[in-house]
Amino acid sequence: MLFEELKIFRKHRIQFVEDLRNANVPGPFRGRPVIDKEISPGDGQLLANLCPTGAIEIHPFSIDLGKCVFCNACQFAFPEKISFTNDYKFATNQRDKLKVFPGAPNLIKVEKKLIRKEVSKIFRKALKLRQISAGGDNSCEMELNAADNVNFDMGRYGIEFVASPRHADGIVITGPITNNMARAVEITWAAIPEPKILVLAGTDAITGGMFLSSKEVNRGFLDDHYIDLYIPGNPIHPLTFINGLLDLTGRV
């Protein structure tokens, strides 16, 4: 333990994660899952019954990472059928690609053809973002803070959070968007000059997660706006967030 801390001290003033594109994330991190190709209808039904968020569908069998809270109950119950890998590069600009099916591992990525031209042209070298915690539980928010700390240091790519939407190129929403934050999300979005991007970070933001059926949730804002990036995770990992933005803005 002491040796580990000394190693960290020795690296002070140096970005601790030197290569954000190829860093290795050890367990117990749970990233993109893989599902064995042999899932019987009975096993599928059992898995669907134990999933707390309805992320598991059975016709056909799939796990929707937009709903999954990465609780590990499915892997715990059927370790030979489902396993969560340490692949953290699974942000995407296609909502339907967040579904994982049995069989060959389907990598989840940002589809270049769907990136708006102005996004890769204008934000390639610098991107300022305003974060809105819209009923969040501070878990994704903490990880977004971590993305900016000396360990991950996404600022090395010119990506930073700013205090005012007037200075921002887009918003990052965390949380399911509660009634009392719905108007604040609209106002913040309206205050950002064009062109701008919209990022949903975490399961709660992508689908409402555990809170989807709550009458205190109001997600109407998302019906009216194009979503540039979905960052799955509960909470998200800083590397998922940073790599997703780098792919969206066309960084090598």
Binding positions for ligand SF4, rule: CB under 6 A: 50-53, 55-56, 63, 68-74
Q: What are phi and psi of 187, to 5 degrees?
A: -65, -45
Least distance in angstroms from the C-beta of 134 to ligand SF4: 21
Between 41 and 193, whose beta carbon lies closer to ligand SF4?
Answer: 41
List, in sequence order, every residue forming a beta bridge with 131; answer none if it has no partner: 172
Between 23 and 71, whose beta carbon lies closer to ligand SF4?
Answer: 71
Q: Which residues contact 23 (CB under 8 A, 6 or more apart)?
A: 17, 239
Least distance in angstroms from the C-beta of 206 to ligand SF4: 13
* Cα torsion through 96, 97, 100, 104, rounded to 10: 140
List, in sequence order, every residue forming a beta bridge with 171; answer none if it has no partner: 130, 198
Least distance in angstroms from the C-beta of 79 to ligand SF4: 12
Q: Which residues contact 219 (CB under 8 A, 6 or more apart)?
A: 176, 177, 182, 208
State the sign of the Cα–Cα–Cα–Cα dihedral 239, 242, 244, 246. negative
Could you tell me what percentage of the chain is helix, strand and coil, using 3-state DSSP and rounding each to the nearest 5? 35, 15, 50
Between 99 and 128, whose beta carbon lies closer to ligand SF4?
Answer: 99
Looking up tokens 């699974």 gives 90
Least distance in angstroms from the C-beta of 189 to ligand SF4: 29
Between 72 and 85, whose beta carbon lies closer to ligand SF4?
Answer: 72
Between 49 and 223, whose beta carbon lies closer to ligand SF4?
Answer: 49
Least distance in angstroms from the C-beta of 54 to ligand SF4: 8
User: What spatial distance separates the first Cα and last Cα of the chain, rounded to whole Å?
Assistant: 36
Least distance in angstroms from the C-beta of 52 to ligand SF4: 6
Between 17 and 73, whose beta carbon lies closer to ligand SF4?
Answer: 73
